[in-house]
Amino acid sequence: MTSSLPATLFEKVWATHVIKELAEGVSLLHVDRHLIHDLEAGPRLNDLQRAGYRVARNDLTFATPDHAVSSAVGRGTDTYATGGRLLRAMRRGTARTGIRLFDLGSAGQGIVHVVGPEQGLTLPGSLIVCGDSHTCTHGGWGALAFGIGSSEVGHVLATQTLRQRRPKTLRLQFEGQLGAGVSAKDMILYAIGQLGTAAGRGYAVEYAGSAVRGLSPDARLTLCNLSIELGAKIGMVAPDDQIYACLEGRPFAPTGSLFDRAVAHWRTLPTDEGAAFDREEKIDAAQVAPQVTWGTSPQDVLPIDARVPDPATASDAQHRQAMQRALDYMGLEPNQALAGTPVDWVFIGSCANSRLSDLREAAQVTRGRRVALGVRAWVVPGSEQTKRLAEAEGLHHQFITAGFEWRSPGCSMCLAANGETIPPGQRCVSTSNRNFVGRQGPGARTHLASPAMAAAAAVTGQLFDVRRLLGGLGGTAA
């Protein structure tokens, strides 16, 4: 930083990556890590070759198949034919250009936003991009990370730079103590419900406050993952000793004296006292209950003990019509209780909630219980490493014994890009990040929730308050 004025975390990281100011508010930035997945790798690398360009920094680009690969046990390249074609193109392109590929079966394969932190590719103060809108996930560890479009993927491959318009800054503070059964997923869904899906548009969001500082490293990734659902490309949490300890020893993290030097630099990154934000919002963490969505936008969210809203109460005709369309699609009636709504499917996975801590959270709820009759429940670990660690703890046996299907790593039913879909009209409780119309398949009805809430739905066969299973409401339920 050239200025002595107090600066925010975002301002510090942005400033260290500016190569040149191009125009009013637009900068040319250096990219530290470029992550590519199977939907982008082959096509973009082929485009680059046809245009006569080479990959500028193949040592800073990392690839893994996740979106289109099957999550079936014992899967192969062609278990899902479309995914197989994309994976072969990815293999050819990365082999030709010397890009590191975490292929099927390797410890590093998995959802790109799970693999990055696990492998130590996600470092505080770094600038990370990927052709996926949930790249904001990596901001949970103090990185400046955001999704980019297909043409921008090609630009980064060819130049290791990117043109970006500098956003404004928004600090969202969660102060106070979280209640029993409440997680980072509930925090961010609550914020989206209170502020709306456009609240973060044009802003880089910094999540702060005592409740955020109390989150584990994995939970901070979940919090930042849904920044894009808040309308923001960028979400960040200031790094601290938890993050530094978590990173030490990871495959691509600095080692020895370089790690010590890195930590010394990382300690300078948190927002300075007195730094100014363009906008500030505060949320009382004690007010956050386990959340579940009722409609077809992440902002259509309520506490599990609430009732479905009535379109008749909407402030204008446009809003009323949108609410009614959402209820019609979801098969819900105004004023009915959310709790008790029968479910057909449960999906525990995605870049929002498929890390080891998420699986542990869900497993705690399933202990001594069985998946309800008529419910099909999947657990899809976020990476091969997560899968192996979970199996070493016996979590897979616990899930399988309870009646869950234990799958292979990938995006799976989060976006139905690999043929794994919810049948039309059926209802799924999902730990993913989007509940748009058709997101999990044509006609599929999606309720977003935390891993604990999803597990509660699986073992009860309905939308259910997990606090009743954990004893957080003064009692338990079978």
Distance CA 57, CA 125 (A): 19
Hey, is 136 helix, strand or coil?
Answer: helix
CATH: 2.60.90.10, 3.40.50.720, 3.40.50.10470, 3.30.499.10. Which one for 9-166+239-264? 3.30.499.10
Number of separate helices (H) and strands (E) present in the chain: 16, 19
The label of the residue with tokens 């060819």 reads: 158
Mean pLDDT of 33-61: 97
Given a cut of 90, is residue 472 above it in pLDDT? Answer: no
169-173 mean pLDDT: 98
Domain locations in the chain as residue ranges: 9-166+239-264, 168-237+272-287, 293-470
> Average model confidence (pLDDT) for the chain?
96
> From its phi and psi, is residue 125 left (phi > 0), alpha (psi between -120 and 50) or beta?
left
- Average pLDDT of the residues in 28-52: 97
Distance CA 71, CA 396 (A): 15
How do 376-379 and 291-293 pair as beta strands?
A: unpaired
**Cβ proximity of 379 and 359 under 8 Å:** yes
* pLDDT tens-digit map of 17-38: 999 999 888 999 999 999 999 9
If phi > 0 it is left, if psi is from -120 to 50 it is alpha, else beta; for residue 78 that is alpha
pLDDT band at 473 (very low <50, low <70, confident <90, very high): low
Tell me the pLDDT tens digit for each residue of 94-121. Answer: 999 999 999 999 999 999 999 999 999 9
H or E stretch including 318?
helix 317-330
- The pLDDT assigned to 474 comes to 43
Identical topology for domains 9-166+239-264 and 293-470: yes
Location of structure tokens 């202990």? 367
- Residues of 266-290 as b/e, b for ≥16 C-beta within 10 angstroms? beebbbeeebebeeebebebeebbb
18-23 and 26-30 as β-strands: parallel, antiparallel, unpaired? Answer: antiparallel
Average pLDDT over residues 58-69: 98
Res 3 pLDDT > 70: no
CATH topology of domain 293-470: Aconitase; domain 3 (3.30.499)
CA dist., res. 267 & res. 244, Å (int)? 9
Contact 412, 349 (CB under 8 A): yes
Assign domain 168-237+272-287 to its CATH architecture. 3-Layer(aba) Sandwich (3.40)
Q: Tokens for 233?
A: 């490309």
Q: How far apart are CA 369 and CA 40, in angstroms?
A: 41
